[in-house]
Amino acid sequence: MQSTPVNETTDKLAVVETLYRFAAGIDLRDDELLASALAEDAVSDFRPAAAKAGFEYPVLEGRDSIVQALTGSLGHVDTTHSVSNPRVTINGDQARLDVLVEAQHVLKSDPARHYLMKNRYDVELVRQGPIWLIQRVTVDNVWRTGELAALFGA
């Protein structure tokens, strides 16, 4: 398929919309919505951000594992993810998205306690049929504030 400015713009919006589904799936605790953003063999690497925050987090592999880990590990906090400054490059059926994501984590049992992270996401996507899916997401931290313990429910 030859790329035209309209097709390229449509693809770029669809790529960003994939990350919106990912973030909304986490925030809404909607496993189906979260899964709809991920390729079956997707990889989520939060290690760079975790290291800067002072904890370890494993690389997650596979759509089902990622969904289960994210919904399970964040069940004690209310989250809001805000996506900004997306930059998309497309090469055929592959795309790359560089984007800033601010993630607020508020402890459900004590809403005065929170942990806010501003992260840079490096996202690799693949086109599968009419939609784009996350193949790999690597999360690095730019800055953070609040109580890390709130993130873990302590």
Residues 14-28: tens digit of each pLDDT = 999 999 999 999 999
pLDDT at 73: 87
Phi, psi of 47 (to 5 degrees): -60, -45
pLDDT of 61-89, one tens digit each? 999 999 999 988 888 999 999 999 999 99
pLDDT > 90: percent of the chain: 87
Q: What is the mean pLDDT of residues 123-144?
A: 97
pTM: 0.92
Q: What is the mean pLDDT of residues 39-50?
A: 98
Q: Where are the domains of the chain?
A: 5-151
pLDDT at 152: 87
Q: What is the mean pLDDT of residues 46-69?
A: 96
pLDDT at 4: 64
Residues 108, 111: Cα–Cα separation, whole Å = 6
Q: What is the mean pLDDT of residues 102-129?
A: 96
137 pLDDT more than 70: yes
Which residue bears the tokens 């494993």?
Answer: 58
Give residue 6's pLDDT band: very low, low, confident or very high (50, 70, 90): low
pLDDT at 75: 87
In terms of CATH architecture, what is 5-151? Roll (3.10)
